[in-house]
Structure 1
Amino acid sequence: MDSSLSSQPEFDYLFKLLMIGDSGVGKSSLLLRFTLDSFEDLSPTIGVDFKVKMVTLGGKKLKLAIWDTAGQERFRTLTSSYYRGAQGIIMVYDVTRRETFTNLSDVWAREIDLYSTNQDCIKMLVGNKVDKESERAVTKKEGIDFAREYGCLFLECSAKTRVNVEKCFEELVLKILDTPSLCAEGSAGVKKNIFTQKPAQADASASSCC
């Protein structure tokens, strides 16, 4: 590759964000609304999907690689490796379905503890589908209390009406930019490929058993 082409990166930072939560809470709809500003009823994600979005925040050019994981139990083993190297994790629940909220602590928060390789990783709790206010089963206060207990940022939003969708990604990314260790990892000067799921630091002397 011509070094003059590679000397000027197209972005200042590359961040990997992960979306988790039960099937049907609207993870893919939120991602579609944020990246393409469109909304449609989507069928459940099979395995994992991801989209890339370029944004400018805080005077920095950012490349966001946002991974959208399947919420169904049978895909759970597939998704564990996708936690690796993520600087931000978005936990999504549906404000009209209480079980999607209780599963946050029963399932998803545990997964983060098990699989996240980044102790400074920023977590964002998102209550989706606030356009269905009349069907609400989880109060905003419960969301706030959960976020406080688990050290997450918190927002309620609606992929359908666009309310707070951009805000939830922006607040998460601004918090990442505020965290020196995450910025160092995401810096464009660091040569890495986040599209290959390999451990971030491969010690030459370590045996590659897995």
Structure 2
Amino acid sequence: MGSSSRQGGGYDYSFKVLLIGDSGVGKSSLLVTFISEYADNIASTIGVDFKIKLLTVAGKRLKLTIWDTAGQEKFRTLTSSYYRGSQGIILVYDVTRRETFTNLSDVWAKEIELYSTNPDCIRVLVGNKVDRESERMVSRDEGISLASQYGCVFLECSAKTGENTGKCFEELALKILEVPSLLVEGSAAVKRTSFKQKPEYNASPGGGCCSFL
């Protein structure tokens, strides 16, 4: 199981992944660390941002389009539309801030129920900032229990040190690959992208050609 940021070579499936959770839990840092293996002083997301990662999991070449959503309530109306069509959702909390954990049930699980249109969508629960163990307010057992309650995969990680950051996304991808309906969606997304990128050639008076995307 490996990952790559290369842009060539194509891919077998394309999946949409959503990162959600309270502001300041480290969603952006988690994503940047996964993409570039470096994250320091990442600013809070305003609205929605996204990044693309190409990786190989279980012998399949995948394109993950990962949407990083703002945790502030004032952006909720904007970000709600991004739940639609997601094959994977990563719920992130900060192990040193209990309110970010309780809000998973009080806020974020309700948002998934309200806005997610995919009943087979895979969810992963991630406790971030385990590098600050002395400040921990949420035990690992509590995380495991909540993940079991909502049928999520559970991991703890540190975006600062890189511990388990790649595993969060790779475990999600592995679970997505186990669901036939999600594979159909991922394959269809590749075909749509290929169709859009197929060049059309128009002969020019000089005998050459011009291509248009």
Residue number in structure 2 paired with 1:184: 184
1:192 shift after superposition: 3.6
Partner of 1:103: 103
Q: Does 1:84 align with 2:84?
A: yes
For residues 192 and 81 of structure 1, do their structure 2 counterparts lie closer, same or farther at Cα, with a shift above 3 Å needed?
farther
Partner residue, 1:11:
11
Residue aligning to 1:63: 63
Q: What is aligned with 2:199?
A: none
The match for 2:149 is 149
CA shift at 1:41, angstroms? Answer: 1.6
Q: Please identify which structure carries the higher strand content.
A: 2
User: Deviation at 1:189?
Assistant: 6.6
Contact 1:147–1:153 under 8 Å retained in 2: yes
Q: Is the 8 A contact 1:12 1:188 kept in 2?
A: no
Structure 2 match to 1:26: 26
Partner of 1:124: 124
Written as runs of structure 1 = structure 2, the 5 A alignment for 1:32-71 is 32-71=32-71
Q: Deviations over 1:100-152 (max 9, x none)?
A: 00000000000000000000000000000000000000000000000000000
SS in 1 for 2:10: coil
Residue 28 of structure 1: SS of its match in structure 2? helix
Contact 2:13 2:190 survives alignment (8 Å): no
Letter in 2 for 1:15: F
Greater Cα radius of gyration, structure 1 or 2 = 2
C-alpha separation between the residues in 1 aligned to 2:192 and 2:82? 15
Change (3 A) 1:189 1:16: closer
Residues 13 and 187 of structure 2 are in contact (CA less than 8 Å); yes or no, is this contact kept in structure 1? yes
Percent same amino acid at aligned positions?
70
TM-score w.r.t. structure 1 length? 0.86
Structure-1 separation of matches of 2:159 and 2:55: 19
For the aligned residue pairs, the C-alpha RMSD in angstroms reads 1.2
* Preserved CA contact (<8 Å) 1:11 1:188: no
Read off the aligned partner of 1:55 and give its amino acid letter.
Answer: L
Q: How much does 1:44 deviate? A: 1.1
Provide structure 1 residue ranges, at least 5 long, that are not aligned to the other structure. 1-8, 194-210
Gap change, CA 1:37 and 1:188, over 3 Å in 2: farther
The structure 1 segments of at least 4 consecutive aligned residues displaced by more than 3 Å after TM superposition are 188-193
Q: How far apart are residue 190 of structure 1 and its match?
A: 5.5
* 1:19 counterpart letter in structure 2: L
Match of 1:202 in 2: none
SS of the aligned residue for 1:158 comes to coil
Mapped partners of 1:190, 1:156: distance in 2: 31
Give SS of 1:162's match.
coil
User: Any unmatched runs of 5+ in structure 2?
Assistant: 1-8, 194-213
